[in-house]
Structure formats: structure tokens, C-alpha cells
Amino acid sequence: MNDISNLRATLSELDDLLVNCMRCGMCQSVCPVFQDSMLEGDVARGKLALIDGLAKRMIDSPVAVKERLDKCLLCGSCEANCPSGVKITDIFIKARTVLTAYIGLSPVKKAIFRGTLIHPRFFTGLLSMGAKFQWMATSKADPFLGTSCSKIMSPLIGNRHFLPLAKRPLHKDYSGVDTGKGTAGMRVAFYPGCVVDKMLPQVGHAVIKVLEHHGCGIYLPKNQGCCGIPALASGDEASFLKLLKHNLKPFSQGNYDVLVTPCATCTSTIKKLWPKMAAKISPEAEKKAQRIADRTMDISEFLVKTFDVDLSAHAVVGEKKTVTWHDPCHLKKSIGVSAEPRTILKGLPGYEYAEMNEADTCCGNGGSFNLLHYDTSSRIGAKKRENILATGADVVATGCPACMMQMTDMLSQGHDPVAVKHIIELYADAL
């Protein structure tokens, strides 16, 4: 362990950001974790006070502070509603990094991030092995939602109803696609993200179908790495920077007009965190990351801003269904995309759109939050499930694979007949 006074000195560098919190406490009204526990340590104000207290020698327990900091979905609800505009997510990520450097990364995370995630080729290979053998340890939980649950008691999986690894990941079908400009006169880089590649390849297929339909050229470089957010959220800056370096190379090339992802979290990470973090590598890296970030768009935003997406004149096959929309935190609160997906859904043939209550309230997944705090995550998710069911929708659409996993788990536990779809799947089906 390092010297605690060094830790305090490094945390003090955050003082210019921390001082902006006026302790008004308004974050209590929007924090899903606080609303579950009603404990000050779970809300942004409380966490900021702990970082401040640690820096200013009021308290001496870095481990306990880190535990509180880790109990956060990083959903950004507090930041989006903060009267003082405190850069809460920046502070939390920096504090997690500093505290992790002091305390050390947990052995499990070390194995995942440093042993596999930062080596994309190995990571991909490992998971495709997993896909072949996962039937041995799991059984089908809900045939309608296509979920599985663990056959044996597993502390990591618990009672979750999870989406199994895809038999055939996306990169098996599309590896190193590089077409010209396309009839639309534009070239679109496609970053599927880990979950889409390995668990929901159908979402990736839908993206490609849609891009081809609209006449876009496609640039999909092979051996893409994870966007890095799981590592950075856990305070592992080194792994994040390795992944960033890995990704900068293919996406600085390719001469594309737009980079799209079907993952809200990837989009937000590329747009907001890549340039900021790349500055730590070199000024050139920062410039490259900024160039990428400026061209990065969520898939719905790209479609609505570029093409006519109204498909309501298309023939309706079968009975009319109802669809509702869940706003991923990293889409609405982080990058301000919320109107575009609704525009697409309202123009779908064969669907009535129904807005759910609290559509922009976090689903409770929060990446590794779900692993560390499954009980809290489930209670927050249960509220989302109630709001979905109250609309009477047949389908809940969203724009983030992590939200899809969480909503699938929640609905599957209740054996609810509601399909969970990525919005691009619905759009592709209607073409």
C-alpha cells in the first residue's frame, strides 16, 4: 500500500471540482440507489463529502470510502439535475482510479481486465470457447425471452436470468468489412461493442441491414477492443488506456464520415471519455480521439438526423402490437438523445407507441454494479419492470445492450410476455 498522505494529496487535486457542490441535496430526488436505501452515503452529495473528508483528513478509511463510491450506477442522473453543475461522473471516475491505485484492484477484476479484456483477440477467443460449453452449466429459464439460469450454485451468477453467449458472435460473420462510400455517398464506421458482438449479434446484423438499406458504405475494422468503460469504472485506468490505444489505431483510419454504435454506453464513452483520457497518452492521441468523438453518434440519432425513418406507410404483417421505450442513462442523461428513438418507434408499421412512466429512470444495471450489488440492482429493476408492464406493451425497446440484459432478467424472473428488443432490430424488421 502507498502512503495515505500521497493519496490525500492526489485527491486534493479534485478540490476545484469538489468545491462546486453546495451540499443542497437535490440529488436525493433523482438517485435510484438513494431512493432504494435512503442513506446519504449512497447519493452523490454524500459521496462527494466522503472524498472531500478523506482529502481533508476528516476521515481515514480509503477502503470504506471506495466501497461507498462503488455503490453507484454511474447513471449520471445526479449530474444531469445538479443545480451547481458539478462534474460528478468525472470526480467519481477519477476518485475510483486514485483509490484503486492505493488499495489495489480486486483479484477477480485484475484477472478479467488485465488478463483478458485488454487482449481483445484472447478475450474473444475465450468467450467463444465459453459459448460452446455454457450448456453444461446452465438451463433454460424462460423460453420466451431466451434466458438461462445457473444449474449449479454460483456466487457470481446467483439467481440471475441471463442472456447466454451467442453461438455465433458477430465478428465471425463480419470481420474487417470495408466498402466504398455507398449510394448515399457516406461511409459509416460501425463499432458494435462487446455485448452486441458476443451476446446479441442479431443487433449487429440489424445495424448492417439498416446501413445497407440506406445505401451507406460500411467500415468495420477487425479485432476491435472493448471501449474500456468496465475497467475505468472500476478504477483501472491502465487497462482503459491500453484499450483506448488499441482502438485509436483502426478508428483513426478508414476515412469514414460517421461512427455509429448500437450501445449507449459505448457511444457515451467514446464521445466523452476517450478524448479526455487520450490526453494522458499524448497530444496526438487526444487529437485523434477528439476526431473520432466528433464523428460518433448513437444509431437512432444518426438515422433520424440523416434519413427519413417514417415507415408507417409500410404494409403491416399480423396483428398490431404495442411498443414502449426505455431511455438508457448513457443516451439521454449523458449525450442528450431521447427524441430520436421515439421518432423511429412512432413511425414503425404495426406498432402503437406507448410512453412508460419514468422512462428515463435507470434500469439498475450499471455494469459491474449489477455484479456487486445484485439486490439493490434488482429492486431498482423491479420498478422498471412495473412501469413496463403498466403500459401493456408487447415489446420494450431500448438502445443499450446492458439495459436489455437487465430488463430481460427482470421480465424473465416474472415470466412476463414482453419481448426486449434493441430499437434497431424493430426498425430493421420493418424495412
Residues that bind other proteins (CB under 8 A): 15-16, 19-20, 22-26, 28-29, 38-41, 46, 49-50, 53, 58-61, 64-65, 68, 83-85
- The least CB distance from residue 238 to other proteins, in Å, is 27
- The least CB distance from residue 381 to other proteins, in Å, is 22
**DSSP state letter for 314:** S
| CB of 7 or CB of 424, closer to other proteins | 7
- The least CB distance from residue 390 to other proteins, in Å, is 16
- The least CB distance from residue 12 to other proteins, in Å, is 11
| CB of 35 or CB of 128, closer to other proteins | 35
The span from the CA of 294 to the CA of 423, in Å, is 23
β-bridge pairing 177-178 and 217-220: antiparallel
- The least CB distance from residue 177 to other proteins, in Å, is 42
| CB of 85 or CB of 143, closer to other proteins | 85
- The least CB distance from residue 85 to other proteins, in Å, is 5
| CB of 31 or CB of 428, closer to other proteins | 31
| CB of 25 or CB of 182, closer to other proteins | 25
| CB of 22 or CB of 316, closer to other proteins | 22
Q: Which three cell numbers stand for residue 95?
A: 476518485
- E-only strand ranges, 182-299: 187-190, 217-220, 258-261, 296-298
The span from the CA of 158 to the CA of 86, in Å, is 36
Q: Which residues contact 35 (CB under 8 A, 6 or more apart)?
A: 28
CA 342 to the chain's CA centroid: 19
Bridge partner residues of 178 (DSSP)? 219
DSSP string, 346-379: HT-TTEEE-PPTTTTS--S-TTHHHHH-HHHHHH
| CB of 52 or CB of 197, closer to other proteins | 52
- The least CB distance from residue 376 to other proteins, in Å, is 14
- The least CB distance from residue 19 to other proteins, in Å, is 4
Q: Helix, strand or coil for residue 419?
A: strand
Q: Which three cell numbers stand for residue 194?
A: 462487446
Helices (H), 134-177: 170-173
| CB of 198 or CB of 373, closer to other proteins | 373
Locus of grid cell 451547481: 84
Are 146 and 165 spatial neighbours (Cβ–Cβ below 8 Å)? no
The span from the CA of 188 to the CA of 171, in Å, is 17
| CB of 19 or CB of 137, closer to other proteins | 19
- The least CB distance from residue 414 to other proteins, in Å, is 26
| CB of 49 or CB of 303, closer to other proteins | 49
The most distant pair of C-alpha atoms in the chain lies apart, rounded to whole Å, by 68
DSSP string, 55-111: HTTS---HHHHHHHHHS-----HHHHH-TT---HHHHHHHHHHHHHHHH---HHHHH
Number of H helices and E strands in the chain, helices first, is: 24, 11
Q: Which residues contact 294 (CB under 8 A, 6 or more apart)?
A: none
| CB of 63 or CB of 313, closer to other proteins | 63
- The least CB distance from residue 4 to other proteins, in Å, is 14
The span from the CA of 382 to the CA of 388, in Å, is 10
Are 425 and 342 spatial neighbours (Cβ–Cβ below 8 Å)? no
- The least CB distance from residue 337 to other proteins, in Å, is 20
